[in-house]
Amino acid sequence: MTAAYNEESIKTLDWKEHIRKRPGMYIGKLGDGSSMDDGIYILLKEVLDNAVDEFMMGFGKEIEITITDRMVKVRDYGRGIPLGKVLDVASKMNTGAKYDSKVFKKSVGLNGVGIKAVNALSSKFSIQSFRDGHNKYAEFTEGNLVSDESEKDTDQRNGTLVSFIPDEKMFGKYHYILEYLQQMVRNYVYLNSGLVIRLNGERFYSANGLLDLLNENINSDILYPVIHLKAEDIEIALTHGNGYGEDYYAFVNGQHTTQGGTHLIAFREALVKTVRDFYKKDFDPSDIRSSVIAAISIKVEEPVFESQTKTKLGSKDMEPEGPSVRNFIMDFVSTHLDNFLHKNPSTADTLLKKILESEKERKAISSIQKLARDRAKKASLHNRKLRDCKIHYNSDDERRLESTIFITEGDSASGSITKARDVHTQAVFSLKGKPLNTFGLTKKIVYENEEFNLLQAALDIEDGLENLRYNNVVIATDADVDGMHIRLLLITFFLQFFPELVKKGHLFILQTPLFRVRNKQETRYCYNEEEKQTAIRKLGNHAEITRFKGLGEISPDEFKFFIGGDIRLEPVRITKEDTVGDLLEFYMGKNTPERQNFIIDNLKIELDLVEEEAALQE
C-alpha cells in the first residue's frame, strides 16, 4: 500500500533537529575518532577556525585548547563576540560577522553554520564572551538553551571561551587520538606564523611556515633541500624523495583542503610547465611529479568550498574582479621557481637526474602496463576479486566519507563480510593466499603481480590519490600469526608504492572480537582478555564462552555488528620518527641479529606478563 502524500507529509525541522538528523551535511561523517576526518575532530576544527580567524585579523596571538576525558575547551584572546549577539552566534543559523568582508576579509568560516553544528551535536555546549570588562555566558544541551546568564563584570582578557562534549548518542563510544590533534594544531601554526597554540599545555609555534611543515612531515630521504617560496597571499614549499607517488599538503585561508581543489590542480600544472620550460624538454608530467613532496597555501577572498567541511576548494577567482586562481598560481610558480632553479644549479641538476630516472623506469614498465590494465578491466567485468559498493570516496554523495573497502583473505571470510556489509558504502576485495613481500622491489612488480595489479585498480590509485575510490582501506585478516603476516605484507606494499595512502590516514586494521560470551538472555563480544573477564562477571560463571580462531568462523549475522555502527578500526599511522626505509628494512628485509634480538626480548616480556597473570589468578 502506497503511503499518503499530503500536507502532513511535509515536515519542517528547526536548525538543531536538521543538524542531528543530517549531520553528514555539516561535519562530513560521525565516526569514533579512529580516522582524522571523523566528526569529533571537525567539531574542534569549527571552533578553532573562528579563533584563528581572529588572529588573522590581528587580534589575539594565543589560543588554548584543553581536552580532559571528553570535554573540549577552546579559549582565544581575540576581540570577543559582541555580548548582545552571543546567543545568536551559537543558535541562529547563518548568523556571523563573516558576511562582512571588511571585518573578516580572508577567513575560513563563511556561512555562520559551523559553531551551530558543534552546539547541536554536543550533549553540553557553552559559550562565553569576554569583552571590554564584561562577559556573557550561555549553555545548551543538544542545541537547546538551558542557561542564559545576564552580563557581568569581569577582569578576564578579551576573547571567547567555547566548551563542548560531543554527544555519545551521535558519536557512540568515541575517543580522541593525540597524534591527530597534534597534527591539526601544527597545521594551524605552520599557516599562521606568530600564532601560539597550547594543546593541554604543550606549546606549538612555527617561525618558518610551510618549510617547517614539510620538515616535520618528511620521514624519508629527500634529494635536495626544501625549496621555500613566499609572497603575499601565497606560500609554497617543495622537494622530491626517493619513493613513489605524489604527496601534497594544500591549504586555503588556513583551512587544510585534504581533497585539494582548484589551487592544487593549478599548482601541479604550474610545476610541470615551469620544469619543462626551464629544461626546455617536454617531459611527461608523471616523471616530473613522481615522488614530489609539496605544500601550497593561498589566501582567497570569499572562498567557495564544495561542502560545509571545506575539504575541497571550488573557487575559480582569487577575489571579485581579480585574477583567476589558476593564473595567480601559474604566474607565481613560473617566476619564482624558475628564478630559484637558475640561482641554484646543484638543485636543478639533482631534479633533472630524478626526472630522467623516473622516465627510464616508466618506459621500462610501459610495455606491461597496458596488459596489466586490460587484465584489471576484465577481472572487474567478471567481478572475481572485487565486490564493489555503490557510493565511492571520489563521488559527490554525502556518505562518501563512509566508503570502505575490506581487504581480506580466504573465501569464508570474504563471504561472511560480503553478506553482512552495507552494499551502499562497503566493498570487499578478496586475496588469494599470502601476498608477495614487495620490500626492495620496483613498481614494475605492481603490474606483473596479478593480486597487486587488481588491488591497485580496485582502489584506482595508479596515478595518486586523486581518484581514490574508498576513504577507508581496511585490512581484515585473522588475529593469528598468518593473519599478522598478511597485514605486514599489505602494509609493506602500501608504504613501498603508495605511502601517501598511509600518511593521509586512509589505511586501517579491522578489529574483530576474540571471544563471544553469552547466556540465554544476553550475548557479549570481547576484543581482549579484560573484556572477556568483565563479560563473565556480568553474565555469570555458567556463561558459554567461544574463542574465534578466524574470521571465517564468524557468521554473517554476527559480522554485521562488527562492521556496522560499532566497527572498531585501528589506524595505521607513521610519524616523522618512523623513517619508512628503515622501518621496512628492519621488519621486512633480510633476517638480521637486530630483529632476532628484538623478537627474543619482546617474547621474554610477553612470557613474563603471562607468568604474572597466572600467579595473580592462583
Q: Across the chain, what does the average pLDDT equal? A: 85
Q: What is the DSSP letter of 313?
A: B
3-state secondary structure of 462: coil
Poorest-confidence range of 74-83, 206-215, 541-550? 541-550
pLDDT at 136 over 80: yes
CA atoms of 406 and 477, how far apart (whole Å): 9
Q: What pLDDT shows up at residue 300? A: 85
Q: What pLDDT shows up at residue 315? A: 65
Q: What pLDDT shows up at residue 102? A: 45
Q: What pLDDT shows up at residue 542? A: 80
Confidence of residue 448 (pLDDT cuts 50, 70, 90): confident
Q: Which domains does the chain have, with CATH numbers?
A: 16-204 (3.30.565.10), 210-361 (3.30.230.10), 383-512+550-578 (3.40.50.670), 515-547 (no CATH)
Distance of CA 100 to the CA centre of its chain: 32
CA atoms of 115 and 103, how far apart (whole Å): 18
CA atoms of 609 and 5, how far apart (whole Å): 65
Q: What pLDDT shows up at residue 618? A: 44
Is the pTM above the cut of 0.85?
Answer: no
Q: What pLDDT shows up at residue 166? A: 96
CA contacts within 13 A on the Cβ side of 116 = 24
CA atoms of 480 and 478, how far apart (whole Å): 5
Residue scoring higher pLDDT (4 or 456): 456
CA atoms of 27 and 310, how far apart (whole Å): 9
Q: What pLDDT shows up at residue 144? A: 93
CA atoms of 231 and 225, how far apart (whole Å): 20
Q: Find the radius of gyration of the CA atoms of the chain.
A: 26
Q: What pLDDT shows up at residue 77? A: 95
For the stretch 90-108, what's the b/e string if a residue is b when 16 or more beta carbons lie within 10 angstroms of its beta carbon? bbebebbbbeeeeebbbbb
Torsion from C-alpha of 261, 266, 271, 274, nearest 10 degrees: 180
Q: Got the DSSP string for 143-210? A: TEEEEEPPPEE--SPSEEEEEEEE-HHHH-S----HHHHHHHHHHHHHTSTT-EEEETTEEE--SSTH
Q: What pLDDT shows up at residue 609? A: 44
Confidence of residue 12 (pLDDT cuts 50, 70, 90): low
Q: What pLDDT shows up at residue 328? A: 92
Confidence of residue 107 (pLDDT cuts 50, 70, 90): low
> Mind listing the pLDDT tens digit for each residue in 384-433?
689 999 999 988 787 888 999 999 987 778 888 999 999 999 999 998 87
CA atoms of 587 and 595, how far apart (whole Å): 7
Q: What is the mean pLDDT of residues 356-365?
A: 89
Helix (H) or strand (E) holding 406: strand 404-409
Torsion from C-alpha of 411, 413, 418, 420, nearest 10 degrees: 150
For the stretch 330-365, what's the b/e string if a residue is b when 16 or more beta carbons lie within 10 angstroms of its beta carbon? bebbbebbeebbeeeeebbebbbebbeebbebeeeb
Phi-psi region of 572 (alpha: psi -120 to 50; beta: other; left: phi over 0): beta
Q: What pLDDT shows up at residue 216? A: 87
Q: What is the mean pLDDT of residues 377-381?
A: 60
> φ, ψ for residue 89 (rounded to 5)?
-60, -35
* Residue for grid cell 563573516: 98
First to last CA, the chain: 65
Q: What pLDDT shows up at residue 31? A: 86
Q: What pLDDT shows up at residue 41? A: 94
> Mind listing the pLDDT tens digit for each residue in 180-237?
999 999 999 999 989 999 999 999 999 999 999 999 888 778 999 999 999 988 999 9
CA atoms of 547 and 541, how far apart (whole Å): 16
Confidence of residue 581 (pLDDT cuts 50, 70, 90): low
> Mind listing the pLDDT tens digit for each residue in 141-186?
999 999 999 999 999 999 999 999 999 999 988 999 999 999 999 9
pLDDT at 605 over 50: no
Q: Are 229 and 243 in contact (CB under 8 A)?
A: no
Q: How far is CA 85 from CA 115, 120, 204, 327, in A?
A: 13, 18, 31, 40
Q: Are 55 and 63 in contact (CB under 8 A)?
A: yes
Q: What pLDDT shows up at residue 225? A: 95
Confidence of residue 8 (pLDDT cuts 50, 70, 90): low
> φ, ψ for residue 285 (rounded to 5)?
-55, -35
Strand partners, 430: 408
Q: What is the mean pLDDT of residues 432-449?
A: 86
